[in-house]
Amino acid sequence: VEFEGEQLSYRGLNRRADELARRLRRAGADAESFVGVMLERSAELIVALLAVSKAGAAYVPINPNDPARRSRFILEDARVKTLVTTAKVARHIPLNELAVVCVDDETDDRTPAHEFTGAATGRAATAEGLAYLMYTSGSTGEPKGVMVTHRNVLSLVRGANYADLGAREVFLQFAPVSFDASTFEVWGPLLNGGRLVVFPPGTASLGELGEFVERTQVTTLWLTAGLFHQAVDAGLGGLGSVRQLLAGGEALSPDHVRRALVQLDGCRLINGYGPTETTTFACCHTIEPRDVATSVPIGRPVSNTQVYVLNSFEPAGVDERGELLVGGEHVARGYLGRPDLTAERFVPDPFSSRPGARLYRTGDLARHTDRGSLRFLGRADTQVKLNGFRIEPGEVEAALLAHSALNKALVIAAEVTPGNKRLVAYVVPAAGAAAPGAEELRRHLKERLPEYMVPSAYVALDELPLTLNGKVDRRALPAPALARQDDGRAYAAPRTAAEEVLAAVWEHVLGVERVGRDDDFFELGGHSLLATRVISRVREAFRVELPLRALFEAPTLGGLSGRVESLLRSGAGRDEDLPLAPRQRGEAAPLSFAQQRLWFLDQLTPGSNAYNIPVGFQLSGTLNALALGQALSEVVRRHEALRTNFVSVDGSPVQVVAESSPFALPVVDLSKLDAPAREEAVRRLAAEDARRPFDLTQDSLLRARLLRLEDDEHALLAVMHHIVSDGWSMEVLVREVRELYMAYTAGGPSPLAELPVQYADYADWQRERLEGEGLEAELAYWREQLRGAPAALDLPTDRPRPPALSLKGDAVRFDVPAETAERLRGLCREEGATLFMALLASFQLFLWRYTGQDDLVVGAPVAGRPRVETEGLIGFFVNTLALRGRLDPDTSLRESLSRARETVLGAQAHAELPFERLVEEVAPERTLSHGPLFQAMLVFQSAAHPASIEVGDLKLSPLGSSHQTEKFGLTLLVAEGARGLE
């Protein structure tokens, strides 16, 4: 046995197993008793399985990652009295009467007073004694334990005719020990003198698996059908040492098999079929090219096994459909404590002369071909197999019905994309109850079922559709939505280039229409096999090696993109360990780099309104003006940025935070004006507010007023200065005011958690972070990117460029039709790019055609919130990137898109360097006639704001605004909307 570099000989394996067997016997394990084994893949796991057999007991594998409720059920159902686990897990075992043996800490054994006096191996095991008890899904709502004997295991791996299991073979133990494939992986080598290599615990990407197989020179490998398909798609990399590749658990794709036969050189490809009740394999087939047509044969019975295709217990003819039954020495003893179910599925064998011989009714449909092999045709009942696991929908349905708000439930497997099946739950709420949301149902099920049994989609119905016979009409069930589930959370569009690329990857792999930054990979239907596909595509798109466990540790789109961006930055030697923590209050804080630039511009042109951010809403419905004022006051209290002024101390600007006080919300009554006059007054007041400048040294940098139009119609006008806000901040403001208003209207307290840090903390953190090596690495990247870049973009204007920018401008609006936009998204998915990257490539090509410049720089704003602590803050975080493009008339559009992708990803990985610091470093020729580094800007809004927002009884609709200023020569602003791209 080899595990993480440690090599354990058979003598060493037996010695350690003997020692553990003694401890098990002292803890009460004996013949025909059950010993729970709750261990991750490890050398200790192999030792434990052997030790249980040496003690004369049978092992009950329990996945440590399964819900505690399921583990507790298995321990109680099997009447387990002894558990082998680790000291860490043992501390959380809830059953006091359980004797616990810790493989990693002999002093931590919790053993009752049993005296051990026998030999090390205890009572000798018999062929008919139980080797293990393995739990599978049960149709009645509870798992059922399959009792497998030593004879069953021996007949599987001794004298096998379906594969070479000799002493020269190197096996990989990769499957969870609670999955019956582990029987073949563990006992195949150990009972034939072979070598067993144990994969480290946790999941793995295909790349990691391939590297491990290559490094350890595995020769015999078992893969589930899903993982096999993905390995073929990835080119079967790293499997050069494998001489026998067994795949199965569900039907193999003929296309993938055909490709595998071409890719595999000198490797035998075997299709394996068999339920847990027939000890892993009942049939196997070595695949030849001529075998693969519309389906892949499951072949002939393995050694010591008989297989029959029967109709009404009469043998079916060639090519005649029938139920598949299995007999012989692989057939398990039955189900623990379930004599009725055992009698139903394990029936007398009329074809055997051996007393007591039985057949196992698989429930699978098959047919004999004229060549004597078998072809699998599907299920005769509702049982499904997903990712190698057998799932009884009845168990999932019973778990759903344990929810008090549900009256009926139906679970099916639906194919959402070719070869990609998902569990879908249809639920009917109880009388007078509302159907629970998908998120609530997932939480409910995860407390009761392992992850692979939790449905991906949930559909609420008033009633299940029925046929004329009163049975559920499955064909009339509505198709599940493939988009993210409506679990009450608002859709949050991806904000960074990395998030957008990841969203495209998830949409492709999961077959969903839209992925948001807060969406969870597993809640959207992801699982470990699909996760390996994501990791492969991440490697292609970002050229980083992301470990698969990162997706399990950070399963949201935003969380995973943070891991990717961290890896991208690490190449520049960035120190990621500097914490963002609250600073000492009462001290004057420095400005962030972005704030410092706006403060400097304000010093140059005092009284300018160029950086005012106005927003207005029409409020329809009954308004509680007092609650609105309270909500605004609480937002100002929560966010110190809104109570901050900027003063000069010894020639340097500092932030000064004022004490919190009630926010002044003046009310202007326009209700006595007629409709046209009211509309004109609203426009005039909105324009006045937007134009009125702020005094940064003493004004409140958020001001608002309420306009009363009618009893149930109001307008809310608000203006913030950019030095304390940005576009993201406006969304935070609206969201918090909405939640606070609803709470205060209902007479409740604030529902918002206190903020972990404030903007001034971020400013401190940013300046400390961008010092020394971290700053130099960022500067080095941008120096190289912008070396030799043109000083100006020669836009073909009708008039000469003025000596100084006036900021006067206007907007021309047009739409890209939805059909064209969707085709563009399709191109991006094919190329592993984002819509922004495609727009950047197009904009650069457009500018090249009109200016003749084949080297140009386009500016683009980014959110600039590098830490999760900043996501809920109001403040000026936005940064600007200088994206350089080199155009070539011989370059195809796809190549231009690929170049744009590399430019954006590289810039995003170094997006923390403030634009102001970059300008200082690059030191371009400064002129008042145009801005530094670039004169064209691309702004992309990935999802248009909703037309209205519901706030209790109120409906908020944005007020229109006119665009009359422009800070650059040309800005292309694109937003995704209902009509396509606006």
- The answer to whether the beta carbons of residues 531 and 590 sit under 8 Å apart is no
Give the model's pLDDT for residue 866. 67
* Residue 135 pLDDT level (bands cut at 50, 70, 90): very high
Residues 546-563: tens digit of each pLDDT: 876 677 678 889 889 988
Measured CA to CA, the distance from residue 159 to residue 161 in angstroms comes to: 6
Greater confidence, 413 or 490? 413
Per the CB < 8 A criterion, the answer to whether 157 and 186 are in contact is no
Angle (CA) 346-451-379 rounded to 5° is: 35
Q: What value does the mean pLDDT take over residues 447-473?
A: 80
pTM: 0.55
Q: Which residue has the higher pLDDT, 481 or 438?
A: 438
Q: What is the pLDDT of residue 185?
A: 97
What's the rounded mean pLDDT across residues 582-586?
Answer: 74
Give, in order, the Cα–Cα distances in Å from 309 to each of 249, 315, 317, 319, 382.
Answer: 19, 6, 8, 10, 19
More confident residue, 823 or 10: 10
Collapsed DSSP state (helix, strand, coil) of residue 586: coil
User: Would you say 385 and 225 are in contact if contact means Cβ atoms under 8 Å apart?
Assistant: no
Mean pLDDT of the chain: 85
Cα 276 to chain center, whole Å? Answer: 30
Phi and psi dihedrals of 277, rounded to 5? -70, -15
Q: Given strand 879-886, what is the order of strands in its sheet?
A: 816-817, 980-981, 970-977, 936-941, 855-862, 879-886
Q: How many helical (H) and strand (E) elements, i.e. helices and strands, does the chain have? A: 26, 42
**E strand or H helix at 813:** none
Which pLDDT tens digit goes with each residue over 818-855?
888 888 887 886 776 778 889 999 999 999 999 989 99
What is the pLDDT, as a whole number, of residue 956? 85
CA separation for the pair 519, 430 (Å, rounded): 28
Looking at the DSSP bridge assignments, the partners of residue 222 are 246
CA angle (786 as vertex; 782, 792 as ends), nearest 5: 135
The rounded distance, in Å, linking the Cα atoms of 821 and 835 is 9
Assigned token pair, 774 = 């971290």
Helix axes 497-510, 818-831, angle to 10 degrees: 90
Task: Give the pLDDT score at 119.
Answer: 42
Q: For 651-700, how does the pLDDT look when each residue is reduced to its tens digit (9 = 90+)?
A: 889 999 999 999 989 999 999 999 889 989 999 999 899 889 999 999 99
Question: What stretch of H or E contains 607?
Answer: none
The pLDDT tens digits for 924-965 are 565 655 677 888 999 987 655 555 677 777 888 888 665 566
Report CA-CA distances (Å) from 615 to 120, 687, 703: 80, 11, 11
Q: What is the pLDDT of residue 390?
A: 75
Q: What is the pLDDT of residue 601?
A: 82
Per-residue pLDDT tens digits for 725-757 = 988 898 899 989 999 998 998 888 999 989 999
Cα–Cα dist 383/323, whole Å: 14
pLDDT band per the 50, 70, 90 thresholds, residue 808: confident
* Pairwise pLDDT comparison (107 vs 671), residue with the higher score: 671
Going by pLDDT thresholds of 50, 70 and 90, the confidence category of residue 978 is low
Q: Indicate if the pLDDT at residue 482 is higher than 60.
A: no
Residue 124 has pLDDT above 70, yes or no: no
pLDDT digits (tens, 9 = 90+) for 270-313: 999 999 999 999 999 999 887 776 678 999 999 999 999 998 78
* Alpha-carbon Rg for the chain in angstroms: 34
CA dist 58 and 50 (Å) reads 10
> Token pair of 558, please?
């935003």
- Residue range 129-149: average pLDDT? 89
Pairwise CA distance, residues 739 & 737, whole Å? 6
- Report the pLDDT value the prediction gives residue 532, as an integer from 0 to 100: 67
Cβ burial 284-309 (10 Å sphere, 16+ → b, else e): bbebeeebbeeebbbbbbbbbbbbbb
Highest-scoring range by mean pLDDT, 478-487, 829-838, 839-848, 895-904: 839-848
Looking at the predicted structure, is the pLDDT value of residue 486 above 60?
no
Predicted pLDDT of residue 78: 94
Residues 6+ apart with CB under 8 A from 865: 728, 871, 873, 877
Q: Is the predicted pLDDT of residue 187 greater than 90, yes or no?
A: yes
Residue 488 pLDDT more than 60? no
With a CB cutoff of 8 Å and minimum separation 6, the contacts of 511 are 416, 417, 420, 482, 525
Residue with the larger pLDDT of the pair 31 and 684: 684
At residue 422, does pLDDT exceed 80?
no
The rounded distance, in Å, linking the Cα atoms of 78 and 186 is 23
Residue-wise DSSP of 150-165: HHHHHHHHSS-SSS--
The beta-strand segments (E) located in 777-933 are: 816-817, 855-862, 879-886
Contact indicator for 250, 304 with CB cutoff of 8 Å: no
Give the tokens for residue 725.
């806000």
Burial of 201 from C-beta contacts in 10 A (0-12 / 13-18 / 19+): middle
pLDDT of residue 600: 85
What is the rounded distance in angstroms from the CA atom of residue 284 to the CA atom of residue 263? 21
Q: Is the pLDDT of residue 571 over 50?
A: yes
Beta strands in 810-854 (DSSP E): 816-817
Using pLDDT thresholds of 50, 70 and 90, give the confidence band for residue 485.
very low
**Residues 205-235: pLDDT tens digits?**
777 888 999 999 999 999 988 788 888 878 8
